[in-house]
Structure 1
């Protein structure tokens, strides 16, 4: 703070820590106070979504003129390989933490066991081992072990997206939601929650957005896409159109570069 006037400090904010899922109110208040103080010391703040920009202005005392939105870039696949799965493949990508809502998705999947599907959940299990263990136990208790795979981390997400028919992730909050943008670029119909910046990323014609922590609504969305091929096709086509409009990393880099040059 003592050096704030001398230095040109620029912050990059993707997700304020005070908005993390599962915090008690004391810790949430402490983080909000700390982050507000840190952001006050900056010359400028770069954020990854318009939603985060609004959040910082409303709850962290950052004036709009100090904020630049630089949406993360999305690497476009050269051309999506046509898949013809005998059993529909549902893909979920996200670290095994409480915020990602894998427990809600798993519970919802248990409600559509009468339909044919397989689900692969890709994500780092080491960030919260207790949550990872709880998810594995939930799958076992719901007798989903032959239908749901916790695949751990992967260096080949492109192949996973290519092989999928549906993308589903029940995040309780997202500062942007890069995996949703990636799913759009691969033309996947999406099931997600009306949480954080997700509605800004996923168009209503490309995905079904449900309330946070609503197992019944998530199951209903799954049933809708699993049982209606035409609905999948319509949303897939909409996802493909939206994916083509997403910025690339060169676009994001240019926005950040121009912002930093203006401050120099």
Structure 2
């Protein structure tokens, strides 16, 4: 059975979590002996051309980003193909609900997303499978005594809440901290300009480092040199950076949105390896960061919990196996 995998153009290079996931499961499926053919597509006409050329009953695995703008082209061929949707996130775009309903299998990256699709799109829960993102295990980060090295990883776009983070950090000028922000700066340049101005106005610009997108090895080095991951997102279907941080034994302060609590999880003793705060609330985020910075006992407790959680994280081989099992249902 050949799996035709429709992925966004540039998926091989772009550092988004969805692209990383797609790359890892592609390699993993091939490693399991699956015949996988990836088709990078950047427009609906390209999608239409690809699916029209496929023979009847071909298995087509569609990344949700592609599905968000190519639903019509896919629906036109849905009756003769075996469609599976890989849903990193939903977009509520025209035709999305109908396309998901036409798929034989829907795979989500979190239990939260599975529940949301069943409720919001009224899909049959029996057709929705979960393949949680995996991680590569790393050595535990040593950390510093003061816990002052903060790290934020994610594209600098409004949805990721960098403005909320800077507003929170602006109220913590009396404490010792530095924050490294790793992620592409070219997606919403006006926002980046606003963030630099806000940092200058609040007097914290010299404590921030906007690195832009970095190669994989440099991102791993950033985790290894950090004390705490901060994720101020306004929405996340899972939050792969949370588990990437935990793979280094880093605690997390994050907004309690979407699948983030699921990604954060618990240590084997039931403890939580971080703090969850309300989204879009700079005061709540600042309070969480202040508790981390001011309380050494809390830091020790969260670090211990993060190192426990590190040992229970999903591997990429497990992720691939879950996806492979879901695709078997198409038969």
2:147 and 2:228 map into 1 onto residues whose CA distance is 12
- Structure with higher Rg: it is 2
- In the alignment, structure 2 segments of 5+ residues that lack a partner are 1-74, 266-270
1:201 and 1:81 map into 2 onto residues whose CA distance is 19
Match of 1:69 among 122, 130, 134: 130
1:238 and 1:87 map into 2 onto residues whose CA distance is 15
Q: What is the deviation of 1:237?
A: 1.1
- In the alignment, structure 1 segments of 5+ residues that lack a partner are 19-30
1:151 and 1:236 map into 2 onto residues whose CA distance is 26
Q: What is the deviation of 1:61?
A: 2.2
Match of 2:255 among 175, 193, 198: 193
Q: What is the deviation of 1:63?
A: 1.0
1:42 and 1:16 map into 2 onto residues whose CA distance is 15
Matches within 5 A, 1:235-246: 235-246=302-313
2:114 and 2:328 map into 1 onto residues whose CA distance is 21
Instruction: Tell me what 1:142 maps to.
Output: 202
Match of 2:164 among 94, 104, 109: 104
Instruction: Tell me what 1:128 maps to.
Output: 188
Q: What is the deviation of 1:217?
A: 0.9
Q: What is the deviation of 1:67?
A: 0.5
1:75 and 1:47 map into 2 onto residues whose CA distance is 20
Q: What is the deviation of 1:149?
A: 1.3
Kept in 1: contact 2:141–2:223 (CA 8 A): no
Instruction: Tell me what 1:215 maps to.
Output: 282
- The TM-score with structure 2 as length reference comes to 0.73
Q: What is the deviation of 1:85?
A: 6.2
Match of 1:171 among 228, 233, 244: 233
Match of 1:95 among 155, 163, 166: 155
Q: What is the deviation of 1:115?
A: 0.7
Match of 1:60 among 101, 117, 121: 121
Specify which structure has the bigger relative contact order, considering alpha-carbon pairs within 8 angstroms and separated by 6 or more residues: 1
- Helix, strand or coil at the partner of 1:167: strand
- The TM-score with structure 1 as length reference comes to 0.90
- Deviation string for 1:115-170 (max 9, x for gaps)? 11111011111121222222122112211111111111111111101111111111
- Helix, strand or coil at the partner of 2:184: coil
Instruction: Tell me what 1:249 maps to.
Output: 316
Q: What is the deviation of 1:82?
A: 2.1
Tell me, yes or no, if structure 1 residue 229 matches structure 2 residue 296. yes
